[in-house]
Chain A
Amino acid sequence: MTTLEVRDLTKTFHRHRAVDGVSFTLTPGRTVALVGESGSGKSTIARMIARLVRPTSGEITLTGQDGAPVARRAYRDHVQMIFQDPFASLNPFHTVEHHLARPLLLHGRSRAEVPHLLERVSLSPDLARRRPHELSGGQRQRVAIARALAPGAKVIIADEPVSMLDVSIRLGVLKLLDRLQREEDLAVLYITHDLATARHFSDEVLVMHRGRIVERGPGDDVLLRPRDPYTRQLAAAAPDPEARFRQGGQP
């Protein structure tokens, strides 16, 4: 059971508390959605878990399958991240092959696994030779997901993985993540500003506001019956055509 526990995580930038005492746990086979507006601190949490940003205080502990804490050195074998913008997260200079082979090699695997990785994210192995600009947005994000899977990671941090994609392919990518989570027993942190997908694609929703978690619980509870005033505001602000036509007497 590879679990990641975040306790009292705090990050201060220039005396401004971007993240303020945040705690949660990611366990295999479950998706936790972290919801908030821009500047709420959710991306900073992702970057701290991915060890791109050093926390000011608090702890991030990773427990391996054997129940013992994972050594620092092996951390990145287990925890990987998917970035928001697939146009920026793939190096325009390198092929898809490079993007997948490097993490494989770095974590003691063979580059022969590249075709298999591509298949796992429902892409044709032929794409390996292409460069990012020859791929569509959806294909790029699938490559980015494959890259995160390459080291054999069991904890995946997905930072707004679909917000830069065209609407008609967003659900496809989210469903792929959902399938991988179930099939491979991954622990997923899904970071988003979109309440509807947060509700549909998670087991637990955390609502962030100004660096703090203001409300947490199962998606239906948090978003259909919000208790916190901020969550209530958020839920009321999302466009909701159903309400308009329900009022009009339609089913």
Chain B
Amino acid sequence: MTWSGKLRAGLLLAGLIVLFGLVGPLLTGDPATIRDVGLTPPGDGHLLGTTITGQDVLAQLAHATRGSLWIGLLVGVMATVLSGVFGIVGAYAGGAVDEAFSLFSNVMLVIPGLPLVIVVAGFVPADQRGTWTISLVLAITGWAAAARVLRAQTLSLRNRDYVAAARVSGEKTWRVICVEILPNLLPILASQFVFAVVLAILSEAGLSFLGLGAADSSTLGTMLYYAQNGFALQREAWWWFVPPGLVIALFGGALSLVNFSIDEIINPALRERVRRGRDVVATTPVVAPADEDVVLTVSDLNVVYQGATPVHAVKDVSLTLRRGEILGLAGESGCGKTTLAYAVNRLHRPPAEVTSGSVVFDGVDVLALGPEELRRFRWVRLSMVFQGAMNSLNPVTPISAQLQDVLRTHRPSMTATDRAARCAEVLRLVGVDRARLGSYPHELSGGMRQRVMIAMALLLEPQVMIMDEPTTALDVLVQREILNEIKRLRDELRFAVVFITHDLPLLLELSDRIAVMREGEVVEYATAEEMYLRPRHPYTRQLLASFPSLTGERGALIR
């Protein structure tokens, strides 16, 4: 774990305030002592001036900070324990216990907290409203949101295989919760604790400001209460009114910074630094090759993930794609095949950057296109089908809207009737009933979704379709249907395909030519037949030797 600047700043600021609350009262003396006639502005004798009754504001601030922090800590601990019991235990137990706990948490969540606290505080006679009473009430009204977060996370953790594995090895339930689940909840528990502390300090300040706080405590809220009732602002005694609020704000802000960092630990997507990289590398367009048969030429392409240690994801790759050809791109995870596919369409995002090379598409230098030209180029000339059709479709809009989007953008002159007809037409091409147009992605099976994606890729009759592991997530039977569909459509419509997969036997069966990639480089580039019969590169041979043959001798490999 690296300590980001935010975390360091947050912890430092929060630490200073805690230190002030701990040590301050010892140094500043009794806050109740009357030191002068009152309302002296900050100066030599009193760093922060005095109150209307002549007490030192700094001394009061130190004691009040201690009081507020103490209540924050009490409530934070109690609320976290409550949320842990209702969130974690409930979710792990499952069944009726979970239902009941979850219902209870949700009810507590929707009943507004502060009004309830005010009512309770209103019923308890002032002399019986102690720090513990107030803290307890704040904890009881403040744990529910955290319980909901913890429950969601625990539900996800308890279905992880490592929890199942621990149970299979015979671990007791309490040990599974404490040793296997709890450590992985720590970031979330920490963030919920921090949040509970801030909320408690803010709520207590509000209560005290209203005169409903704990009778036996002095907090930043009570200080503000006295400042307000002493008309501090009206008398322009800002030094009395501003510091308590500022301490609350700074402490809250510091803990928010800590929470930002925890968020970044939980969700790595938030962590990555975003650099707005150079978008266009080529300034002088590359002259189109003479070969009319070639639709896409990639020459000496290099893609680098710029970072502390730059990763050279694509190294000097050169490929040509002929019209109507199926080019297979084979390789294992991390070999750069997907990065290459994205770079061809300039879909790579920072920190990935095309450092050199060219991509020429039917005479057009793709790397030299301006943003608007690039947008007009995409999908019209080259469309893509991604691996998880599950995730490639927008989950919240129906299929028809996602198909129509393409036509609306690229064929603005098309009428609504024509658009609808075209959408139905492409669905028919891939064998999906047009009645499915109104369906949402989650209502379709995996194979159906992938067909819809292919239909979408066909909408504008592009010359090239890039397919990135289009069948990997599918079952064999569905995979077979989709592959047959792709072959048939290619034969009918004569588009070229770049088919990316780790499944070399599949490519050997499907492709015209195959490029094998390893560590960013194309190590072998040949026709499928050549590669099957006479693989030259040792890595190609190793890959071929990884697949046992289904029909050959027992123990025999594909090659």
Contacts and interface: CB of A to CB of B under 8 A. Distances in A.
A and B touch in the complex (CB under 8 A): yes
Interface string A234-246: 1111111111110
- Between B165, B180, B510, the greatest number of chain A beta carbons within 10 A of the residue's beta carbon is seen for B165
Interface stretch (B27-35, B235-243, B472-480): B472-480
B169 A237 contact: no
8 contacts: A83-B161, A102-B171, A106-B169, A106-B170, A151-B170, A171-B546, A233-B477, A239-B503
Interface in B485-530: 502-506, 508-510, 528-529
B169 A147 contact: yes
A199 interface: yes
Contact of B548 (A37, A94, A200, A236): A200
B332 A167 contact: yes
A68 interface: no
B550 A103 contact: no
Nearest to B550: A196
B269 interface: no
B508 A244 contact: yes
A89 interface: yes
A25 interface: no
B505 A241 contact: yes
A162 to B, nearest CB: 10
A52 interface: yes
A178 to B, nearest CB: 11
A93 interface: yes
B548 A197 contact: yes
Interface residues of B, number: 47
A240 to B, nearest CB: 6
Contact of A150 (B169, B477, B529, B555): B169
Interface in A115-167: 144, 147, 150-151, 166-167
Given A167-B546, A239-B506, A76 B554 contact: no
A89 B508 contact: no
Contacts of B480: 236-237
Given A91-B184, A241-B508, A195 B550 contact: yes
Interface in B530-559: 532-533, 542-543, 545-552, 554-555, 558
B477 A234 contact: yes
A242 B165 contact: no
Contact of B168 (A52, A195, A235, A245): A52
B193 to A, nearest CB: 18
A235 B169 contact: no
A250 B510 CA distance: 17
Contact of A81 (B165, B183, B529, B548): B165
Contacts of B551: 224, 240, 242-243
B278 interface: no
Nearest to A220: B554
Contacts of A106: 169-171
B162 interface: yes
Given A52-B167, A196-B550, A237-B476, A93 B508 contact: no
A235 B546 CA distance: 19
Contacts of A38: 475
Contacts of A244: 508-509, 528
A242 B552 contact: yes
Which 8 A-B residue pairs are closest in the complex by CB-CB distance? Answer: A241-B508, A237-B480, A89-B161, A103-B169, A37-B475, A93-B183, A239-B506, A91-B162
Nearest to A102: B169
A27 interface: no
B120 interface: no
- Between B161, B508, B545, B552, the greatest number of chain A beta carbons within 10 A of the residue's beta carbon is seen for B161
B550 A171 contact: no
A51 B547 CA distance: 33
A107 B554 CA distance: 38
A92 interface: yes
Interface of B: 160-162, 164-171, 179-180, 183-184, 332-333, 475-477, 479-480, 502-506, 508-510, 528-529, 532-533, 542-543, 545-552, 554-555, 558
Interface residues of A, number: 57
A18 interface: no
- Between A167, A197, A244, the greatest number of chain B beta carbons within 10 A of the residue's beta carbon is seen for A167
A100 B554 CA distance: 35
Contact of B554 (A37, A47, A200, A241): A200
Interface string A213-235: 00000011001100000000111
B550 A240 contact: yes
Contacts of B529: 245, 248, 250
Contact of B503 (A51, A81, A167): A167
A80 interface: yes
A169 to B, nearest CB: 8
Given A89-B164, A244-B508, A245-B529, 12 more contacts: A76-B170, A85-B161, A167-B332, A167-B504, A168-B542, A196-B550, A233-B477, A238-B550, A239-B506, A241-B508, A241-B532, A242-B551
A11 interface: no
Contacts of B533: 245, 250
Nearest to A195: B550
A240 B179 CA distance: 47
B170 to A, nearest CB: 4
Contacts of A196: 547-550
Contacts of B552: 242
Contacts of B477: 37, 233-234, 237
A90 B164 CA distance: 10
Given A52-B167, A106-B170, A168 B543 contact: yes
Contact of B332 (A50, A81, A166, A245): A166
Contacts of A83: 161, 164-165
Nearest to A49: B168
A200 B555 contact: yes
Contacts of B542: 168
